Structure 1
Amino acid sequence: MKNGFWQRVADFLIKDHPYISLTFFSALIMLPLLGSYPLLGQWEPHYGRVAMEMMASNRWDWFLDPIYLGKYDFWSKPIFAFWMVFPFMKILGPTELALRLPFALNGIAGILMIYYLTKRMFNDKPRAFLAALFALLFPIYTLISKQFMWDITTVTFSFSATLLLFVGMRDDRKKDIRIAYALMGVVMLTKGLLAILIPGGAFFLWFIVNGFVLSQKDEKTTFMQSILADIKKLRLLEGLGIFVAVSGWWYLYMYIRHGAPYFIEFFGKHHFGRLEGAIKKPDGPFDFYIWQYSMALFPWVAFAPAAMYRAAIAKKKEKEEQFILLAILFLTLFFSLSATKFPHYIFPAVPFIAMIMPPLFIDFFKGKQLKSWYLVAVLGALLTGLIAKDLGTGLNYREMLYFITTHRVQKWFGRVFDMVPYLEMVTPIFVLFILLPLISVKRKFLRTISLTGMFSLSLLFIGYINFYWVPNMLEVFTPKKLVKIYQTEKKPGDIIIDYNNWKNRSMYFYLGVDEHLYRETSTASIKKLIQSHPQNTVYITVKDKHVPELRSALLNDLGAPLVKVADDAIPPYKEIEMYKTGMNLKAKGMDDWKKSLISEKDIPRNIKRVNGTLAQKSIEIIGYKLNKNAFDPKEKLVLDIYYKVLKPIKESYKFFFHFDVYSGALPFSFKIDEYPLKGYYPTTKWQVGDIIHEHFEEIVPPSHPGGGIKMYTGLYKGNIRLGVDQEKYNDGENRFILGTFRVNI
């Protein structure tokens, strides 16, 4: 009775209503919370701003010519994805949901196309259903589908075009071939020449392999005759007409509108330039995408080698398996050979990999080839453990972050919303389910428990990523809160400046098209803007590490204070702060720094005195005090230093402290760089006779190898350090030898 019930459920989902059930399952993963977390990434706010400006344009051709920051030179991408978001932005406004919803729906459509085309290729509903399910459970699929970027649209249509061409040739169906060329035209409007490259590369390899096989089987058919016969089936002239009719008119419009410069940039720079590495984009070794697969398909990647081997040994009987393998091979090789390697470039291969996976599990469930499961299970368990360890220790963790933020996130922030606890909990259980049938591989109930457990844990992982990890992650990396505060506080005439902040793309989107964001990279330009708005408040967003230099410059030259308004902190992570300043701004507590100007009697007796001088006896370093003499990694180091001004200093300098291993197994260094009194008291304002107490705190790096540490200090501007007067304190590089301490091993 129980088996009968579950069989009826399976028949209802897979045989009777596969499109309804796949749409339902896909929507459950794709749609919830879609508009509840902010835009960020490299692309979402960037493309969102382009769409906003296009819709705000009064030109008749506003929907054809992309514009960014008032300039009609957004030539890195074609037009189709913008057309996708326009209706949603018209209805929902310029919101996160409006930008993401069309691509999430596209992702659902992609799942249905994987089912449809797998069924067409193999006439096997269970295999088709499982292929679609695997794609949905691959992390890369939902990470890319749920954001405003071109790739899910490119992959859906290029994958569909490639397989429709194949089944159209195989079954001699002109309709399929014509639809395929129309879809290639859509891809041309979405991602350019990938429209030709993806199907063209797969068929190129297929024609060579198929021609060789046929020429070996039939002596009357030569290699070239076989290839020419296959090419004839493609109906290239008719296809070219359809392709040009769908996409050519827009490129003609862009040529009439902008001339040759558009084609030089779009095709020359953004196609061949990326391929050759002529533009500054991420690169990686040849095996880069092998590692990307491990993250993109986790945890099912552990079974990919066995699934591909099974397909490979079936190639003599099944040309369809052969074609899919060749498509995967071509895409992997092509992007591996490309000089530019974004992690998501390998995404076009993912639907083909999903099609390869099901037979391995169907045979296992049905009790076929059970002896091979011993090797498959052991290999799968080992790969799952190794890849989970790589994700947990960071080998591929930052690449997963890249899909939703930027490839430098981990370098800047470390372990943001670390998934290690999840992996430590789930991975052993997943491995257990893989190995469970080995107790008695012939027992169906063990195989059923094994497969149910693996799919359930994989679904849990996808839920964890989509409904917890991504939303929390993006809250860390957004300036949305700061923009809202500015919009609430600002008065007519007030302006906002972004200073050396990579989040400005998000700020452009959230500020809207009616607000101007000044992007500045020098304190001199900021001072000019403040002077040109003497009666107004100027808001500045800035990385926290740049605040002292900005404060120092404004106080030194304008006497304008920096008053903190807010920051983007989601404890314990913080990067961007927003300050306000102005020629007439007065702020409470702005003189608190003067408490650090002390007299001789205020110098503690228990400091380590050095009494050395810098810059021809312009500054005397009196001494210092550490909170401890030995530290553990991750422990807080507190340093108090006391110095006296002996002569006027004409330029603005920064303090540096270098903490270098001088006695230990491995070289290691960490440092502090800071303006005097965090910028409140620039060196140009120092008065002869001042005794200044500086207080610094720094965490000993977790990766510190330990050993004896020598402290060096001094003041610098650019590449110039103030000289150290006494030879015994000079390390030979104008670093003042302050003292020593230890880091425990």
Structure 2
Amino acid sequence: MRHRTFLLCLAVLCFLFFLLGNAGLAITDPVESNYALTAKEMVASGDWLSPQIYGIYWYDKPIFIYWMLCLSYSAFGFTDFAARLPGAFFSAVSVLLAAWYMLRRTQRLLAAALLAAMTTTSLEVWAIGHSVITDQMLFFFTSATMFFTYIGLTEKKPAYIRGAYVMAALAVLTKGPVGIVLPGIFFLIFIAIRRNTTYAKRLFPLGGILLFFAICLPWYGMMYARHGMDFINGFLGFNNVVRATISEHPKMNVWYYYLLLVPVSLLPWTGPCLYALWKRRRFSDEYVYMTLWALGTIIFYSLMATKYPTYSYVANMPLLYLGALYLHALGQKTSRRLWFLVTGPALFFWLLLFSAGIGIKPADFTLHSLTELLIFIPIAAAILLLAQWKRAFPAIPVIITTGTALIYLILMYQVLIPFYAYRSATALLPAASSFHGQLYFFEEYHTSFVYYTGLPAIYTAPSNYDDNVRLNRDEIWSKKHLFPTEEADVLIDRLRRHEPVWLIVPDSKYKHFMQSEFHDLTRPVGAYGEYHVFTSL
């Protein structure tokens, strides 16, 4: 009963933590707005089977995130809170899953509390937990798949193996084949390393396999029945094979990308997580399994051509688990040197944020006052240093957790809310009612405007402008954009005929616009945030 009460309180506390401030975070471009608008169109059309955006079926991701958004919109309306609710929920249950697994393995509440605290306050978990993307859901389902499989294999618990197949099916409905392919590779390598034929026999129960297909096959089957090869080519061909073989962001396609990213994503717990990976090394089932999960994920995505910060996210769970085990064992030791592996990265993280608060003055948007942040961080750092110096080591994880959580809350209201507004087209909303005529975005489309206003808009650019050339990437990536487009000569003809036309020009494209063939055929209307609005003469 004590464990159940702990887990229940943990779930409520984490859910509230991830919900705080979400209602003030605008939907950002270019990623979040695609998910938000797709789900909005699905609710409006009543078609919850086929993702669609701008009235066009598209196959960027499977259905699960859209179902979650559709349910949230149906309950709470088309609000920023509703859009971010699924991310907050799956963040909370991911923390709950980690704590449950630690409790099951160790029967120690302190170890479970440490892992929960580390997971909740690690940088990437906190950031993605407030985002409208698929990765928090994949993080949960993949972690559940891995945890359940390990229990099933090592403890001869067939129900957990079946549960793992259910979680893998939901991962496939969230992100596609990687939901089963990546864990499957890890399982097979683990069994081969352990040379355990018993594990191999336990891995493929008929009941689990049938559950997997019963959960994920209906949606894929209905999509193929409705859309045929368009779905296969769009989803598997373009959004899986092309992403793996042709880089969307060539500048980021470097072998060390995730080796740099993962340590940053684990802050402020980077020290114990990475040190535990080295220090706790042994040829035991659990260590081999967790190491294979962590390093295998990093290697797998390092081999992919397209690199994204969130791709390696699922590697964080085993690293946090090992780090929590090490931190729990460290509680019995009084070595300042070993404890500095815990306090050092936290101090670095806090002081990095402090330096950014002093030195970074955004030119494109106005931050709220950073006074609270600049006062709180030195105080928190001083308390942490005092605990380190006085050897009050059991207090250190509490100080880091509390300090980081409070810093995040300050950042939410002082930094993230204005930053998200800047990354969104909400500044244009006061002017939306005055746009009577055809609306255009110049060189940079902002889907969030369409999401918030419901007004159709068209992308246009000068005839000599090529976004793929600008980004030095393959022209195949033009297929990614489904928003309406219009060639420059069509717009010029409209302008010469003095049709009611409105052009929205972001700050970053203003110089290009002034040099374009559109400029002499338009007049300025006004500036709204980082957008300039022009209309026909």
TM range (shorter): 0.7 to 0.9
Q: Which residue of 1 aligns with 2:286?
A: 320
Correspondence for 1:263: 232
Q: Are residues 482 and 462 of structure 1, via their aligned partners in 2, closer, same or farther at CA, if it must alter by over 3 Å? A: same
Matching residue within 263, 267, 275 for 1:306? 275
Compared CA separation, residues 53 and 207, structure 1 to 2 (3 A): same
- How far apart in 2 are the matches of 1:17 and 1:556? 65
| Corresponding residue for residue 521 of structure 1 | 461
Q: 1:20 and 2:8 equivalent?
A: yes
**Cα deviation per residue 1:291-349 (whole Å; 9 max; x = unaligned)?**
22233221111222332234324x54xx3243222211211221223222111111112
Q: Which residue of 1 aligns with 2:297?
A: 331
Question: TM-score, structure 1 length as denominator?
Answer: 0.62
What is aligned with 1:36?
A: 24
Whole-angstrom CA distance in 2 between matches of 1:346 and 1:363: 27
Q: Which residue of 2 aligns with 1:294?
A: 263
Residue 101 of structure 1 and its aligned partner are, at CA, apart by 1.0
Structure 1 residues 454 and 36 mapped into 2: Cα distance closer, same or farther (>3 Å)? Answer: closer
SS at match of 1:306: helix
Output the amino acid matched with 1:480.
T
Amino acid at match of 1:174: P
Question: Secondary structure of 1:497's match?
Answer: strand
1:17 positional shift: 1.7
Confirm whether residue 274 of structure 1 aligns to residue 235 of structure 2. no
| Percent sequence identity over aligned pairs | 20
Q: 1:537-616 alignment to 2 at 5 Å?
A: 538-544=501-507, 546-547=509-510, 550=513, 558=521, 560-564=522-526, 566-568=527-529, 575-579=530-534, 581-583=535-537
- Residue 510 of structure 1 pairs with residue 452 of structure 2: yes
Are positions 1:243 and 2:212 aligned together? yes
1:433 alignment partner in structure 2: 384
Secondary structure of 1:324's match?
A: helix
Residue 531 of structure 1 and its aligned partner are, at CA, apart by 4.6
2:403 paired with 1:457: yes
Q: 1:533 to 1:237 in 2, by over 3 A?
A: farther
* C-alpha distance in 2 between matches for 1:418 and 1:520: 38
- C-alpha change, 1:175 and 1:131, in structure 2 (3 Å) is same
Cα distance between partner residues in 2 of 1:83 and 1:66:
10
Cα distance in 2 for partners of 1:36, 1:282 equals 33
Report the Cα offset of residue 143 of structure 1.
Answer: 1.3
* Offset, 1:258: 2.1
Query: For 1:561, what is the secondary structure of its paired residue?
Result: strand
Match of 2:469 in 1: none
Sort the Cα spacing of 1:557 and 1:361 in 2 relative to 1 into closer, same or farther, 3 A. closer
Query: CA 1:269–1:359 in 2, change beyond 3 Å: closer, same or farther?
Result: same
Which residue of the partner structure matches residue 479 of structure 2?
Answer: none
Distance 1:387 1:86, change over 3 A: closer
| Alignment pair present for 1:341 and 2:297 | no
State how far apart, in whole Å, the 2-side matches of 1:533 and 1:460 are: 55
Cα displacement (A) at 1:385: 5.5
1:481-519, Cα deviation, whole Å (9 max, x unpaired): 3133222x245xx232211224x111121121xx32122
Shift in alpha-carbon separation, 1:321–1:524, aligned structure 2, 3 A: same
Which letter maps to 1:521?
A: A
> Which residue in the other structure is 1:165 paired with?
149
d(CA) in 2 for partners of 1:111, 1:252: 33
Q: 1:275 to 1:450 in 2, by over 3 A?
A: same
Aligned residue number for residue 108 of structure 2: 124
Give TM-score scaled by structure 2 length: 0.85
Give the superposed CA RMSD.
Answer: 3.3
Q: Is the 8 A contact 1:139 1:462 kept in 2?
A: no
| SS of equivalent to 1:357 | helix
Amino acid at match of 1:518: I
Match runs of 1:410-489 below 5 Å:
422=373, 426=377, 429-430=380-381, 433=384, 436-439=387-390, 441=391, 446-487=392-433, 489=434
Say which structure is richer in strand. Answer: 1
Write the letter of the residue equivalent to 2:55. G
Q: Which has the higher contact order (CA 8 A, sep 6+)?
A: 2
Q: 1:517 to 1:466 in 2, by over 3 A?
A: same
The one-letter code of the counterpart of 2:85 is L
Distance 1:16 1:204, change over 3 A: closer
Distance in 2 separating the partners of 1:547 and 1:510: 23
* Contact 2:425-2:449 at 8 Å conserved across structures: yes
Q: Deviations over 1:81-122 (max 9, x none)?
A: 111111221232222122111221122122211122222233
SS at the partner of 1:312?
coil
How many Å separate the matches in 2 of 1:325 and 1:545? 44
Instruction: State the AA in 2 paired with 1:309.
Output: W
- Opposite residue 198 of structure 1, the aligned amino acid is L
The DSSP-based 3-state class of the residue aligned with 1:343 is coil
Aligned CA distance change for structure 1 residues 296 and 289 (closer, same or farther; 3 Å): same
Distance 1:290 1:278, change over 3 A: closer
Whole-angstrom CA distance in 2 between matches of 1:435 and 1:496: 59
Look up the match of 2:483: none
Equivalent-residue separation in structure 1 for 2:135 and 2:508 (angstroms): 35
Residue 156 (1) aligns with residue 122 (2): no
State the alpha-carbon separation in 2 of the partners of residues 155 and 511 from structure 1. Answer: 32
- In the alignment, is the contact (CA less than 8 A) between 2:168 and 2:180 conserved in 1? yes
> Cα gap change, 1:91/1:65 in structure 2, threshold over 3 Å: closer, same or farther?
same
Name the count of aligned residue pairs: 510
Q: Is the 8 A contact 1:164 1:176 kept in 2?
A: yes
Q: How much has 1:432 moved relative to structure 2?
A: 6.4
- Check if 1:50 corresponds to 2:38: yes
CA distance in 2 between partners of 1:418 and 1:516 (Å): 36
The one-letter code sitting in structure 2 at the alignment partner of 1:229 is T
Could you tell me how far apart the structure 2 residues matched to 1:95 and 1:355 are? 35
Counterparts of 1:343-742 in structure 2 under 5 Å? 343-365=309-331, 368-370=332-334, 373-384=335-346, 422=373, 426=377, 429-430=380-381, 433=384, 436-439=387-390, 441=391, 446-487=392-433, 489-491=434-436, 494-502=437-445, 504-512=446-454, 515-522=455-462, 524-531=489-496, 534=499, 536=500, 538-544=501-507, 546-547=509-510, 550=513, 558=521, 560-564=522-526, 566-568=527-529, 575-579=530-534, 581-583=535-537
Of Structure 1 and Structure 2, the greater helix share is in 2
Instruction: Return the alpha-carbon distance in structure 2 between the equivalents of residues 545 and 286 of structure 1.
Output: 30
For residues 257-308 of structure 1, give each alpha carbon's deviation from its aligned partner in whole angstroms, at most 9, with x where no partner exists: 2222322332233223222235456624322223222332211112223322
Inter-CA distance 413–388: structure 2 relative to 1 (3 Å threshold): farther
Whether the aligned pair in 2 keeps the contact of 1:482 and 1:578 (CA below 8 Å) is no
Post-superposition CA distance 1:373-401 (Å, at most 9, x none): 3332344455455566777788xx99xxx
Gapped runs of 5+ residues in structure 2? 463-487
- In 2, the alpha carbon distance for the partners of 1:454 and 1:526 equals 56
User: For residues 578-598 of structure 1, what are the alpha-carbon distances to aligned partners after superposition, in whole Å with 9 as ceiling and x for unaligned?
Assistant: 23x234xxxxxxxxxxxxxxx
Q: State how far apart, in whole Å, the 2-side matches of 1:474 and 1:257 are.
A: 37
Q: Distance in 1 between matches of 2:96 and 2:204?
A: 27
Is the 1:381–1:431 Cα contact (8 Å) retained in structure 2? no
How far residue 63 of structure 1 moved from its aligned partner, in angstroms, is: 1.0
Q: Distance in 2 between matches of 1:430 and 1:518?
A: 50
1:140 positional shift: 1.0
Structure 2 counterpart SS, 1:510: helix
Distance of 2:369 and 2:268 partners within structure 1: 18
